Amino acid sequence: MSMLEQKKELIQMASLAASGHNAQPWKFEITERGITILPDLSRRLPVVDPDDRELWISLGCALENLVVAARAAGLNTEVTYPDISEKINIDLKDAETEQDELFNALALRQNTRSMYDGNTVQSAELDKLMALPVIDGIFVDFFNESDEITTLSEFIRQSTIKQYSDPLFINELIHWLRFNKKEALSMDGLYTRCSGNPEVPRFIGQLFISGIKPEKQAEEDIQKLVSSAGAVMISTETDSRSEWVKTGRIYERLVLQMTALNIQSALLNQPIEVPEIRGEMTESLHLKGARPQMLVRFGHAQLMPGSLRRPVGQILI
C-alpha cells in the first residue's frame, strides 16, 4: 500500500469518531509529513455549541482515532495542538506495529442512546476504565453512587427543560435528525433508528419533535441515566481549543475502552451546554477540573444500528 493510500485509510478510521449531532465537523488535508485536521465551520452547531467547544472536542475524537489507527499501522504520531493556528497537525513516522484492543473497537464504537438494563459493571472492568491513561490538564470523575446520580439527574432535568423550551434548539435538532433510511443516505446527522425509534416521513418527524413536552423529555433522559451503571464527567482547568481537543481524545479513548469491554455508552451533555448549569456542577459534584466538558453514561444495553459516515472523498481537501 502506498503512503497516500495509507493516509487515506487513517483518515477513514478517524472519521468514525464521535461528533455532536453526528455533524462530522471535520476536514482532512494530506501533507508531506502527515495529516492535518481542520474544522468544517459549515457544520457547526450555533445554537447548542455557540463557542465551538463541542466542535473542537469532536476534532479531538477524530485525532484519537487517527493516533490509534496509526499505531496499529506501525506509525508514530507527533501532534501539534491548535494553540495559535486553527488546525491540528499530525506528523507520521515509522515505528513498530502495535495492535491493541482499542484499534479493534474503532469500527464498533457507538453512542447507544437507548435505555440500559440497569445492571452494574464488573469491578475489574471499572478499575480498567479508571486506570486509563489521561493527558495532563484533563480530569476524569466517575459517578455511581445514588446521591451522585440524584444530583446529576436534577442538572439534567433543568438543562433539558431549558433546551427543549427553546424553538431555536428544536429547529437545529430537527435539521440534523434523519427520520428515515432515505434521509440517512446523507451519511451524517442523527438517524432515528439509532435511538430505537421507527422510521417516519420528515413532516411527521418534525411534528413529533416540535410537540415534545420539555418536562417529559427531561424525565425520559433521567430514566436513561438511572438505567445506566454509572456516569463519567471529563473536565479541564480552562476553556481553550487545545484543552477541548485533548478532552475529545480522552473521551474517545474512554469509550473505545468501554467498547472493547462490551460496555455501552451515551452522551448526556445537556447540563454542560447550558452555561449557568455548567457553572453549578463543578462545586456540587466536587469535580477535579474547573470546567466540565463532557458527561457520559455507561452500562449494558442492546446495540442499536450504527450511524453512517461520509466517505473520505467528501472530507478530504
CATH of the domain at 79: 3.40.109.10
pLDDT tier at 85, thresholds 50, 70, 90: confident
CB burial readout 211-234, b (16+ within 10 A) else e = eeebeebbbebbebbbbbbbbbbb
CA–CA distance, 210 with 295 (Å, rounded to integer) = 25
Mean pLDDT of the chain: 95
CA–CA distance, 309 with 188 (Å, rounded to integer) = 6
In this structure, are 58 and 153 located in the same domain? Answer: no
Q: Which residue has the higher pLDDT, 305 or 152?
A: 152
Q: Please say if the pLDDT value at position 166 is more than 90.
A: yes
In this structure, are 100 and 127 located in the same domain? Answer: no
User: Which residue reads 464527567 in cell numbers?
Assistant: 233
In this structure, are 87 and 190 located in the same domain? Answer: no
Inside any domain, residue 48: yes
pLDDT digits (tens, 9 = 90+) for 178-232: 999 999 999 999 999 888 888 999 999 999 999 999 999 999 999 999 999 999 9
pTM of the model: 0.96
In this structure, are 82 and 152 located in the same domain? Answer: no
Query: What pLDDT was estimated at residue 197?
Result: 85
Q: Please say if the pLDDT value at position 306 is more than 90.
A: no
Q: Please say if the pLDDT value at position 1 is more than 90.
A: no
Query: Distance of CA 125 to CAs 3, 77, 130, Å?
Result: 37, 28, 9
Inside any domain, residue 99: yes
Beta-bridge partners for 55: none
pLDDT digits (tens, 9 = 90+) for 12-45: 999 999 999 999 999 999 999 999 999 999 999 9
Inside any domain, residue 18: yes
* Domains identified in the chain, total number: 2
Q: Which burial class, exposed, middle or buried, applies to 172 when counting CB atoms under 10 A from its CB (0-12, 13-18, 19+)?
A: middle
Q: Which cell is 215 given?
A: 418536562
In this structure, are 18 and 90 located in the same domain? Answer: yes
Q: Which cell is 184 given?
A: 440517512
Spatial contact of 20 and 45, defined as CB atoms under 8 Å apart:
yes
In this structure, are 246 and 135 located in the same domain? Answer: yes
Inside any domain, residue 191: yes
User: Mean pLDDT, to the nearest integer, of 253-276?
Assistant: 98
Inside any domain, residue 249: yes
Domain that includes residue 217, residue range: 123-299
pLDDT tier at 285, thresholds 50, 70, 90: very high
In this structure, are 132 and 231 located in the same domain? Answer: yes
Residues 6+ apart with CB under 8 A from 115: 223, 224, 227, 301
User: Mean pLDDT, to the nearest integer, of 41-66?
Assistant: 98
Contacts by residues 282-287 (CB-CB < 8 Å, ≥ 24 positions apart): 282/235, 284/151, 284/155, 285/141, 285/143, 285/148, 285/151, 285/152, 285/233, 286/141, 287/139, 287/141, 287/233, 287/235
